[in-house]
């Protein structure tokens, strides 16, 4: 399929989205402009859902729930497998759509589509392997039988930085478990979600099993859904601040919550690391999606003996990156999502410089109509600078010097967040020891990429609750049921 084909209108930014997707129907409407961050121009308008629309989505999810729950796991798996195939078939159009509404460079967008599709393939395979348990009670009085039931209707809230992958990482396990869902994508990047819904319907997802709505009133809309006793699950990816608010809302009706929240990932490089490999990993860990990722390396701690060489190498590589419109084939770094994001990045860098940090490349917003900030490296950053403690969410690499292993672990843990960390060392025992000492849910050792649909993704401390992906991801959408049995 190409952008010129009759069935490719969902990938054409000149066309409006077909409407809210509720109960298998497209409900027309408008009100939310979708902006191309590369140009600041409006791509399309999508519907602005009301509380009443949200309740219609809950009704649709409830109407479909019994039938989907009763659908044999093999059939659910085959639908997810077909959805994976359709995403793969339409990968280039989806990548272009993501690049248009998110701004990320096409290579990043293509990588996201491939990653996103894998969640459907993985959970197509997990749908037929839902675990159970049978054993004798220790007392010998009875047998213990444990089954797993779908938890119920799930509200899924996804961010703008990975509009395809964050949706599939939630939809895949929910559908595999037998749940029906309501997806609320970020209003900055909704076109991808509507495109995915179309592909899902084509794959055979029954009406009402997946519903999608966009809104400029996320507070009232989500609160209304969480207050409905039919909704039993909330899966959220976003900031820690919003996550705390949602947890408080969900507590009112004791809704089960999975929370993938903020990050402040340390990237540790020891003197015995392979410098070239560390720089390769740093570029991936920092510049994937131009730094707009919760797993992005946020603080580079480099041991004194290799520090200067690392800064020089990172500076050269960052300075060589091509910045431009996401859809330009030559672009390696696209724009930030909004002008507000650029302002925040500039504030963090400027404050660090004012406190004695030194910029080795970049360091100021780029002119033009889009929302561009250049790849930036800063060294000699004070530990108490705001940039050392706040998630940057942009293409800025602050580098800090450390002396000892103990100091590195202390610095890595000097944050309320605990999502991801990176460790580079030629001594695997040291790398594992340091990784064990860092308070995060995930650690990458001698590699700059850790996300994998087959692995449990999630964090510690203020970075969230629960896990997505892997064998454990499907259990987030299931309730264990225990039977005490005599026979």
Q: Which residues are catalytic?
A: 260, 294
DSSP label of 273: S
Spatial contact of 287 and 377, defined as CB atoms under 8 Å apart? no
CB 170 within 8 A of CB 177: no
CB 383 within 8 A of CB 283: no
Nearest CA to 271 out of 405, 407, 436 is that of 405
CB 81 within 8 A of CB 120: yes
* Residue 55 DSSP SS3: helix
CB atoms inside a 10 Å sphere around CB 283: 20
How many degrees, rounded to 5, is the angle at CA 245 between CA 242 and CA 247? Answer: 110
DSSP 284-349: HHHHGGGG-STTSEEEEEEEHHHHHHHHHHHHHHHHTPPB--TTSTT-SB---S-HHHHHHHHHHH
Output the CA–CA distances (angstroms, integers) from residue 208 to 75, 166, 197, 477, in the order listed: 17, 20, 11, 17
Q: Residue 420: which of 408, 406, 410, 435 has the closest Cα? A: 435
Please provide the distance, in angstroms rounded to a whole number, between the alpha carbons at the two ends of the chain. 58
- Taking the CA atoms of 73, 193, 196 and 240 in sequence, report the sign of the dihedral they define: negative
Nearest to 301 by CA among 393, 392, 421: 421
Q: Do the beta carbons of residue 190 and residue 197 sit within 8 Å?
A: no
Number of Cβ within a 10 Å radius of residue 386: 12
Geometric angle at alpha carbon 28, from 45 and 68, rounded to 5°:
110
H-state helical runs in 141-274: 165-177, 191-203, 218-227, 240-251
Phi, psi dihedrals of residue 181, rounded to the nearest 5°? -135, 155
Contacts of 277 (CB under 8 A, 6+ apart): 424, 446
Q: How far is CA 281 from the centre of its chain?
A: 20
- What does the alpha-carbon distance between residue 17 and residue 214 come to, in Å, rounded to a whole number? 11
């Amino acid at each position: 399929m190409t952008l010129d084909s009759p069935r490719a209108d969902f990938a054409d930014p000149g066309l409006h989205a077909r409407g809210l997707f509720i109960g298998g129907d497209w409900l027309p409407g408008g009100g939310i402009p979708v902006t191309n961050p590369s140009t600041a121009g409006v791509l399309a308008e999508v519907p602005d859902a009301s509380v009443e629309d949200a309740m219609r989505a809950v009704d649709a999810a409830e109407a479909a729930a019994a039938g989907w729950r009763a659908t044999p796991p093999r059939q659910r798996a085959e639908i997810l497998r077909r959805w994976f195939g359709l995403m793969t078939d339409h990968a280039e159009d989806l990548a272009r759509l993501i690049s248009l509404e998110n701004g990320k460079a096409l290579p990043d967008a293509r990588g996201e589509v491939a990653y996103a599709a894998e969640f459907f393939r993985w959970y197509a395979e997990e749908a037929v392997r839902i675990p159970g348990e049978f054993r004798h009670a220790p007392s010998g009085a009875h047998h213990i039988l444990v089954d797993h039931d779908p938890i119920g209707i799930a509200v899924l809230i996804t961010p703008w930085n990975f509009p395809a992958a964050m949706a599939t990482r939630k939809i895949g396990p929910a559908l595999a478990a037998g749940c029906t869902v309501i997806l609320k994508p970020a209003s900055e990047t909704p076109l991808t979600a509507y495109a995915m819904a179309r592909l899902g319907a084509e794959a055979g997802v029954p009406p009402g099993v997946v519903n999608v709505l966009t809104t400029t009133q996320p507070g009232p809309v989500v609160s209304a859904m969480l207050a409905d006793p039919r909704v039993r699950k909330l899966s959220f990816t976003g900031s820690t601040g919003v996550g705390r608010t949602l947890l408080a809302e969900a507590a009112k009706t004791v809704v089960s919550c999975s929370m993938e929240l903020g990050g402040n990932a340390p990237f540790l490089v020891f003197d015995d690391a392979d410098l070239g490999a560390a720089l390769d990993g740093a570029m991936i860990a920092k510049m994937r999606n131009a730094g707009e990722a919760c797993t992005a390396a946020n603080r580079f701690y480099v041991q004194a003996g290799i520090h200067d060489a690392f800064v020089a190498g990172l500076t050269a590589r960052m300075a060589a990156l091509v910045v431009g419109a996401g859809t330009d084939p030559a672009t390696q770094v696209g724009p930030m999502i909004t002008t507000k994001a650029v302002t925040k990045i500039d504030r963090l860098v400027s404050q660090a410089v004012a406190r004695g940090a030194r910029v080795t490349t970049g360091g100021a917003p780029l002119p033009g109509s889009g929302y561009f900030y250049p790849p930036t490296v800063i060294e000699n950053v004070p530990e108490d600078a705001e940039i050392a403690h706040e998630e940057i969410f942009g293409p800025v690499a602050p580098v800090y010097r450390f002396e000892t292993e103990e100091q590195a672990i202390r610095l890595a843990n000097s944050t309320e967040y605990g999502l991801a960390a990176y460790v580079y060392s030629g001594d695997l025992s040291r790398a594992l020891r340091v990784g064990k000492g860092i308070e995060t849910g995930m650690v990458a050792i001698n590699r700059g990429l850790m996300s994998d649909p087959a692995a449990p993704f999630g964090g510690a401390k203020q970075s969230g609750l629960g896990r997505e992906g892997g064998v454990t991801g499907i259990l987030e959408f299931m309730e264990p049921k225990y039977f005490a049995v005599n026979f």
